[in-house]
Structure 1
Amino acid sequence: MSDALINGVSGAGGGIIAQLITYPLQTVNTRQQTERDPSKSVDRDGTLKQMCRVVKHEGWGRLYGGLTPSLVGTATSQGVYYYFYQIFRDRAEDAALAQLRNGIGDGSVGMLQSLVVAALAGSLNVLLTNPIWVIVTRMQTHKKTKKTPDCKVQSSVPNDVIQNVVVEPPPYGTIDVMQELYGEAGFLGFWKGVVPTLIMVCNPSIQFMLYEAMLKKIKRKRASNTKGAEGLTASEIFLLGAVAKLGATVVTYPLNVVKSRLQAKQGLHMDKRHQYEGTYDAITKMIKYEGLSGFYKGMGTKIVQSVLAAAVLFMVKEELVRMARLMLTRKLSLSKGVRSKQSR
């Protein structure tokens, strides 16, 4: 098994576990980001109160709306990202060693090269997985509301009974969202928000640049030449991942809000001020009608969710990589032992 494949599979596993742990926070945050009414302060009540409100009025299931496509998206996204990241990283390391042989540099990958590597892997990931995240955003922002029966049906029913009768809305699943998206904008509807998402590639790029820089400093202090995060404890990797993600989230959060606004459903009954034709239109209308504060709605929730998710992902991913390499090493040593015995 190649090192890139090990990192890809491990990244997918780590992403799934992190997603399961932090998904309710992600749902609440997406709703906060897509709240278009400037008179409503989504941060005033706090994340826990908003979660309780969703549970009270819509049930526990709404906190996990879109979980299935989200898990598929996470596994695919993290797998694709880490697979290509490792391929590009290996090539960058080979280039750095080649320069060292020519008397240039110290043989290590610098921060700029790390940024480029992460950006290339992130761009491929966005183009391949954006349709999944559009579906997830739609399902997270879909609010479950009860409706009264049709007046024609209830004409013979006493008024006091009518007032107590409610009809559950039809289910809103993955197929429903796909049909809705295709009906709105055709095949290109699945790539709504792709422009700010591509720009947001700088988020994981900044994250990995910070992570690799901090990892490099720690290994240098310990005079370690091990590969990757080998030699570090799980708690150290957890903290490195958290700090790296915190820095990246603060810088790129406004783009995240714009992306969510574009991907969320825009009803025909909605005020024209809150309907967006594209990235530029969304940014200008948000500045005009909501001010700069509109770009930071739900930021507190996002910091908690993304930092916790990234820290768990890094920790689990590195542990899985370590286990996979250990198993491969043992397998190779066993096979060599069998061959040496057969040759005697």
Structure 2
Amino acid sequence: MSDALINGLAGAGGGIIAQLLTYPLQTVNARQQTDRETNKENNKLGTLQHMSKVVKHEGWGRLYKGLAPSLVGTVASQGVYYYFYQIFRDKAEAIALDRRKRGQGDGSVGMLSSLVVAALSGCVNVLLTNPIWVIVTRMQTHTKSSKKNHHRQASKTPEEIIAAIEPPPYGTSNAVQELYSEAGFLGFWKGVIPTLIMVSNPSMQFMLYETLLKKVKERRAMKKTGSNSVTALEIFLLGAVAKLGATVVTYPLLVVKSRLQAKQVAGADKKHHYEGTLDAIMKMIHNEGLGGFYKGMRTKIVQSVVAAAILFMIKEELVKGTRFLLGKNGLKTAVPKP
């Protein structure tokens, strides 16, 4: 089994566990990001308060809406990202070794090359898996909006009132049909431009992670303890710190992406309908101010930092275990989630 396949499978496994543990936070965050209004009660709610409100009005199941396609997306994203990362990383290492043979460099992959490898892997991942995440966003942000208007249904038959209060289930097929009717085949790549720009997130995360990891290993080597290996807990903490820094910098792009991928609001009010990335940015600035780009950031920080830390730790343990079972020695550096 190749290193690329080992890392791809380990990344997918770690991603599934991280996704299961943090999915309710993702659902709440998606709703916060796509809230197009200002001065609303929701803007004042904290993460746990918002979660409680969803449970109270829509039930526990709503916190896990879209989990199935999200798990598929996680497996696909982690598998694709780590698989191509390892392929690109191997090529970068081969180039570095060749340069050393020619008397150029020390044979190690530099920071710039590492960032390029992470960026290329992220771009491939985005282009291949974006349709899955559009569907997930649709399902996370779908609400039982008709329920709150049931008191206005006096003129309707009992059957119609029941249908309005309890609308039919909104599943994956409904989201796919709705999106295709709204925007056609290209609609499945809504938000792909800001998502491609978001590739800078794992690149920044990677840079921070690599820098911190190198310092930890150097400090351990200076103590001459006989081993500079990093523990699972240390990887957890390093992954959390690296993800925190990257998320704070790139969060506005994540909000724009979610706005584009969520269902467009129909009606005469054009401020809620986005024609594209630039149109979304301009309308958000005009109607919501800069604060609109940071809606739900506290929730996202908690979710993404915890998920990334769990992913790092589990992925590394899976890689170690797999290589041990296959009789392979050595452990290559982990890379962050896209």
Task: Go from structure 1 to structure 2 and tell me whether the alpha carbon gap of 1:36 and 1:166 turns closer, same or farther (over 3 Å shift).
Answer: closer
Aligned with 2:267: secondary structure? coil
State the shift of 1:93 in Å: 1.3
Q: Which residue of 1 aligns with 2:335?
A: none
Q: Which residue of 2 aligns with 1:116?
A: 116
State the shift of 1:299 in Å: 0.5
TM-score normalised to structure 2 length: 0.90
Q: Which residue of 2 aligns with 1:189?
A: 187
Aligned with 2:165: secondary structure? coil
Structure 2 CA distance, aligned partners of 1:11 and 1:280? Answer: 33
Structure 1 CA distance, aligned partners of 2:299 and 2:187? Answer: 28
- Structure 1 residues not aligned, in runs of 5+: 156-161, 225-229, 332-344
* Correspondence 1:91-240 to 2 at 5 A: 91-145=91-145, 146=147, 148=150, 151-154=155-158, 167-223=165-221, 231-240=229-238
State the shift of 1:166 in Å: 6.6
State the shift of 1:96 in Å: 1.4
* Conservation of the 8 A alpha-carbon contact between 1:114 and 1:212: no
Q: Which residue of 2 aligns with 1:284?
A: 282
* Correspondence 1:1-344 to 2 at 5 A: 1-40=1-40, 42-145=42-145, 146=147, 148=150, 151-154=155-158, 167-223=165-221, 231-269=229-267, 271-329=269-327
1:238-275 deviation line (CA, Å, top 9, x unaligned): 01110110111011000000000000001313621121
- Structure 2 residues not aligned, in runs of 5+: 223-227, 330-338
* Conservation of the 8 A alpha-carbon contact between 1:25 and 1:305: yes
Task: Go from structure 1 to structure 2 and tell me whether the alpha carbon gap of 1:43 and 1:122 turns closer, same or farther (over 3 Å shift).
Answer: same
What amino acid is aligned across from residue 303 of structure 2 in structure 1?
Answer: Q
State the shift of 1:43 in Å: 4.6
Q: Which residue of 1 aligns with 2:333?
A: none
Aligned with 1:38: secondary structure? coil
Q: CA RMSD in A?
A: 2.3
Task: Go from structure 1 to structure 2 and tell me whether the alpha carbon gap of 1:220 and 1:184 turns closer, same or farther (over 3 Å shift).
Answer: same
What amino acid is aligned across from residue 29 of structure 1 in structure 2?
Answer: N
Report the identity percentage.
72
What amino acid is aligned across from residue 72 of structure 2 in structure 1?
Answer: V
Structure 1 CA distance, aligned partners of 2:213 and 2:167? Answer: 51
Aligned length: 321
Structure 1 CA distance, aligned partners of 2:144 and 2:53? Answer: 12
What amino acid is aligned across from residue 22 of structure 1 in structure 2?
Answer: T
Task: Go from structure 1 to structure 2 and tell me whether the alpha carbon gap of 1:165 and 1:184 turns closer, same or farther (over 3 Å shift).
Answer: closer
> Which range moved further: 166-175 or 119-128?
166-175
Structure 1 CA distance, aligned partners of 2:78 and 2:182? Answer: 29
State the shift of 1:327 in Å: 0.3
Aligned with 2:155: secondary structure? coil
Task: Go from structure 1 to structure 2 and tell me whether the alpha carbon gap of 1:128 and 1:237 turns closer, same or farther (over 3 Å shift).
Answer: same
Aligned with 1:329: secondary structure? coil
What amino acid is aligned across from residue 284 of structure 2 in structure 1?
Answer: M
TM-score normalised to structure 1 length: 0.88
What amino acid is aligned across from residue 52 of structure 2 in structure 1?
Answer: C
Task: Go from structure 1 to structure 2 and tell me whether the alpha carbon gap of 1:270 and 1:214 turns closer, same or farther (over 3 Å shift).
Answer: farther
Task: Go from structure 1 to structure 2 and tell me whether the alpha carbon gap of 1:167 and 1:213 turns closer, same or farther (over 3 Å shift).
Answer: same
* Conservation of the 8 A alpha-carbon contact between 2:265 and 2:272: no
Structure 2 CA distance, aligned partners of 1:203 and 1:43? Answer: 25
* Conservation of the 8 A alpha-carbon contact between 1:7 and 1:321: yes
Q: Report the structure number with the largest CA radius of gyration.
A: 1
Structure 2 CA distance, aligned partners of 1:23 and 1:114? Answer: 30
What amino acid is aligned across from residue 94 of structure 1 in structure 2?
Answer: A
Task: Go from structure 1 to structure 2 and tell me whether the alpha carbon gap of 1:301 and 1:221 turns closer, same or farther (over 3 Å shift).
Answer: same
* Conservation of the 8 A alpha-carbon contact between 1:28 and 1:51: yes
